[in-house]
Chain A
């Protein structure tokens, strides 16, 4: 399945967002997600299935002012 992950085109299996996070090594990481520009709460990652062309953003805590 071809999706855009954090701005980069990727070919990943999924099929759910939670599966994808595990696939890229972030299954247990402290991250937040947005799918196609809309916030996707952690509780819905396991039931949200990705499809070709989706854009997923995965963000983490970072320095800020």
Chain B
């Protein structure tokens, strides 16, 4: 099972808490999936925050607060500081967004915010692109986890750049890597694990499914399958056929 900043978690599935049809369905989805981490956020208190806090505590899984919606270093750092006090954890899923259509990370601001937060004792989970140089910079600044996107948040497109994700895995074999965002189907989650990733973070694919509880279970099974497949050392793909049935000993009948 994955380990982040020295903490073991019970499952490679990191599941978001947003957009479910009801709190009960959200809780059932978490139970069905056995998710190891719940991602959460913070917003202006409009009356619902206290009940949600109680619900999260009942889930009994570690929480990973995010800085979703932040577009600047200052916003992200202040949000992280409030999240640390609110959720009583040094973990922060650091999001600094550059473009609202794609929710593409502002990688320059991300590196700067990661530096400030790491210096302040945070354990940063950066939502980043799969760019090797950006990821290297984040590691230089003290990040011990990387969370490259598979595709834009909420798009359900799967892994847009499997080559880039594979390359990242090869370059940083000892760094916990999480595919964060873009997962739409269990097969996408399985593919991330087949690439050797340590975990998958998803939300919309489960919360907005027709049956979120069933989809949560399907994601958990796919992640287990992908993880097992990676450990089993898959065959290399090839362009030409290779007979699986032995040619030697074939009767001459023609």
- Chain B residues with a Cβ under 8 A of chain A: 16-20, 26, 39-45, 48-50, 52-53, 56, 65-66, 68, 74, 78, 81-83, 85-87, 153, 202-204, 207
Given contacts A34-B78, A65-B153, is CB(A60)–CB(B18) below 8 Å?
no
| Contact residues, A35-65 vs B (CB, 8 A) | 37-39, 41-42, 57-65
Check B43–A38 contact: CB distance below 8 A: no
Check B85–A60 contact: CB distance below 8 A: no
B207 cross-chain contacts in A, Cβ below 8 A: 65
Nearest Cβ in chain A — how far from B102, in angstroms?
A: 16
- Chain A residues with a Cβ under 8 A of chain B: 6-7, 26, 29-34, 37-39, 41-42, 57-65
Check B81–A59 contact: CB distance below 8 A: no
Check B44–A7 contact: CB distance below 8 A: yes
Check A64–B40 contact: CB distance below 8 A: yes
Task: Select from chain B the residue with minimum beta-carbon distance to A32.
Answer: B82
Additional A-B contact list (7), CB under 8 Å, known A32-B42, A63-B20, A65-B204: A29-B50, A60-B44, A61-B52, A62-B41, A63-B40, A64-B17, A65-B41
Check A38–B78 contact: CB distance below 8 A: yes
A57 cross-chain contacts in B, Cβ below 8 A: 44
Q: Could you list some 6 contacts between A and B, CB below 8 A? A: A29-B49, A59-B42, A61-B42, A62-B43, A63-B16, A65-B41
B interface: dominant SS = mixed
B52 cross-chain contacts in A, Cβ below 8 A: 60-63
Check A42–B41 contact: CB distance below 8 A: no
Check A59–B86 contact: CB distance below 8 A: yes
Contact count A vs B, C-beta below 8 Å: 99
Task: Select from chain A the residue with minimum beta-carbon distance to B26.
Answer: A63
Check B65–A64 contact: CB distance below 8 A: yes
Check A32–B83 contact: CB distance below 8 A: yes
A65 cross-chain contacts in B, Cβ below 8 A: 16-19, 39, 41, 66, 68, 153, 202-204, 207
Check B85–A42 contact: CB distance below 8 A: yes
Check A59–B74 contact: CB distance below 8 A: no
B19 cross-chain contacts in A, Cβ below 8 A: 63, 65
Check A39–B78 contact: CB distance below 8 A: yes
Check B203–A32 contact: CB distance below 8 A: no
Given contacts A38-B78, A65-B17, is CB(A59)–CB(B68) below 8 Å?
no
B78 cross-chain contacts in A, Cβ below 8 A: 34, 37-39
Give the complex CA separation of A6 and B47 in angstroms.
Answer: 13
B42 cross-chain contacts in A, Cβ below 8 A: 32, 59-62, 64
Give the complex CA separation of A42 and B49 in angstroms.
Answer: 17
